[in-house]
């Protein structure tokens, strides 16, 4: 049996997350990645599109090298100091790269506010986890936004980090987090990031390709009805990856997800993922969170199975 690093990391993160007291003392690795990205963007995102794209490539390469090297050094130090027990320290070092609990704790308040008929509070809560304009959302739109973010982030924040941890160890996990952070900050189609962020966006597509499909499958296994919608509608999504977990969740919940979205005051006509009715409610978020928890447990089973088999 191999060292159950991923399973322990997932269990610890689900139990305690990344406590605010710890965050205040030492911060979070993603914050460090963001500082590197922002510094590179300020210095290198200039000139014509060709130069911007080259500098964007350099930014991603630098970021992955720093993240991977730092994680590799930390893992080697753990092995040097702790010997056979180093895997426990490595599992704990992996915890900040996962966000099962954090994602759950950000989505649940949206449902709580909607149950109290406080649409303003619900919009405020959902604005913490989505990039779209939330001031234009009605109750159904707010609920759908929360469910869509829960579904997509199940891949980005849980499945993909665990996948790369299982495949490449601690350096794989943090290289992935660095790429995903770069995509979030600069991987946009609009100026001034269109050329500079191209590499970040395309690299994020590549590293999420397999995890997104695993995430969709786990959601389908966590509740009935997901396979048909996922297989039929996943590729209707603008993203090559986000559509898989979102379409799976649409099918499991019997909801239509996606549809027109407003960014910066401009409406974009996005296709619907055709799971069923469109009138999402607080109860649908609660059911979605239940599906999410079961899917996380299935991921735990995979992590434990990999450790057992290897």
pLDDT at 118 over 70: yes
Place of tokens 């056979």: 84
- Which DSSP category does 258 fall into? E
CA gap 270, 229 in Å, rounded: 17
pLDDT at 220 over 70: yes
The string of pLDDT tens digits covering residues 42-78 is: 999 999 999 999 999 999 999 999 999 999 999 999 9
243, 234 contact by CB (below 8 A):
yes
Contacts of 63 (CB under 8 A, 6+ apart): 33, 36, 37, 40, 178, 179, 181, 182
How large is the average pLDDT for residues 82-92? 96
Closest CA to 162 of 299, 13, 1: 299
CA gap 128, 106 in Å, rounded: 8
pLDDT at 131 over 90: no
Q: Which pLDDT does position 59 carry in this prediction?
A: 97
How large is the average pLDDT for residues 93-113? 96
At 268, is the pLDDT very low, low, confident or very high (cuts 50, 70, 90)? confident
CA gap 221, 297 in Å, rounded: 11
pLDDT at 264 over 80: no
How large is the average pLDDT for residues 156-176? 98
Cis peptide before 192 (omega within 30 of 0): yes
Q: What tokens appear for 181 in the block?
A: 């952070």
Share of the chain above pLDDT 90, in %: 82
With H, G, I as helix, E, B as strand and everything else as coil, classify residue 224: coil
Report the chain's mean pLDDT, rounded to a whole number.
94
pLDDT at 2 over 90: no
User: Residue 225: is it exposed, middle or buried by C-beta count within 10 angstroms (0-12/13-18/19+)?
Assistant: middle
Measured between its terminal Cα atoms, the distance across the chain in Å is: 6
The string of pLDDT tens digits covering residues 186-199 is: 998 777 889 999 99
At 165, is the pLDDT very low, low, confident or very high (cuts 50, 70, 90)? very high
Q: What tokens appear for 216 in the block?
A: 């969709």
At 20, is the pLDDT very low, low, confident or very high (cuts 50, 70, 90)? confident
Q: What tokens appear for 206 in the block?
A: 């590549």
pLDDT at 1 over 70: no
Q: What tokens appear for 155 in the block?
A: 């891949």
33, 59 contact by CB (below 8 A):
no
What is the distance, to the nearest Å, from the Cα of residue 123 to the centroid of all Cα atoms in its chain?
20
How large is the average pLDDT for residues 282-301? 98
């Amino acid at each position: 049996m191999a060292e159950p690093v991923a399973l322990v990391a997932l269990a610890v993160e689900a139990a305690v997350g990344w406590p605010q007291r710890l965050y205040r003392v030492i911060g979070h690795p993603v914050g460090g990645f963001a500082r590197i990205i922002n510094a590179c963007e300020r210095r290198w995102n200039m000139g014509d599109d060709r130069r911007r794209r080259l500098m964007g490539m350099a930014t991603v390469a630098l970021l992955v090298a720093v993240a991977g090297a730092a994680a590799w050094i930390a893992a080697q130090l753990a092995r040097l100091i702790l010997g056979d027990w180093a895997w426990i320290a490595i599992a704990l070092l992996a915890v900040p790269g996962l966000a099962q609990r954090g994602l759950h704790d950000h989505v649940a308040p949206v449902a709580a506010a909607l149950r109290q008929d406080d649409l303003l509070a619900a919009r405020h809560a959902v604005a913490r986890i989505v990039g779209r304009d939330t001031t234009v959302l009605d109750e159904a739109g707010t609920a759908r936004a929360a469910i869509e973010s829960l579904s997509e982030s199940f891949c980005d924040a849980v499945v993909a980090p665990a996948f790369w941890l299982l495949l490449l160890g601690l350096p794989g996990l943090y290289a992935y987090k660095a790429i995903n952070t770069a995509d979030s900050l600069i991987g946009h189609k609009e100026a001034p990031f269109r050329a500079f962020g191209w590499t970040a966006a395309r690299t994020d597509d590549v590293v999420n390709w397999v995890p997104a499909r695993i995430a969709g499958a786990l959601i389908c296994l966590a509740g009935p009805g997901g396979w048909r919608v996922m297989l039929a509608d996943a590729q209707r999504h603008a993203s090559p990856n986000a559509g898989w977990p979102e379409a799976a969740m649409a099918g499991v919940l019997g909801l239509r997800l996606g549809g027109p979205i407003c960014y910066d005051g401009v409406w974009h006509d996005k296709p619907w993922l055709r799971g069923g009715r469109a009138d999402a409610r607080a109860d649908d978020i609660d059911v979605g969170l239940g599906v999410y928890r079961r899917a996380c447990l299935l991921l735990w089973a995979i992590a434990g199975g990999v450790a057992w088999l290897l």
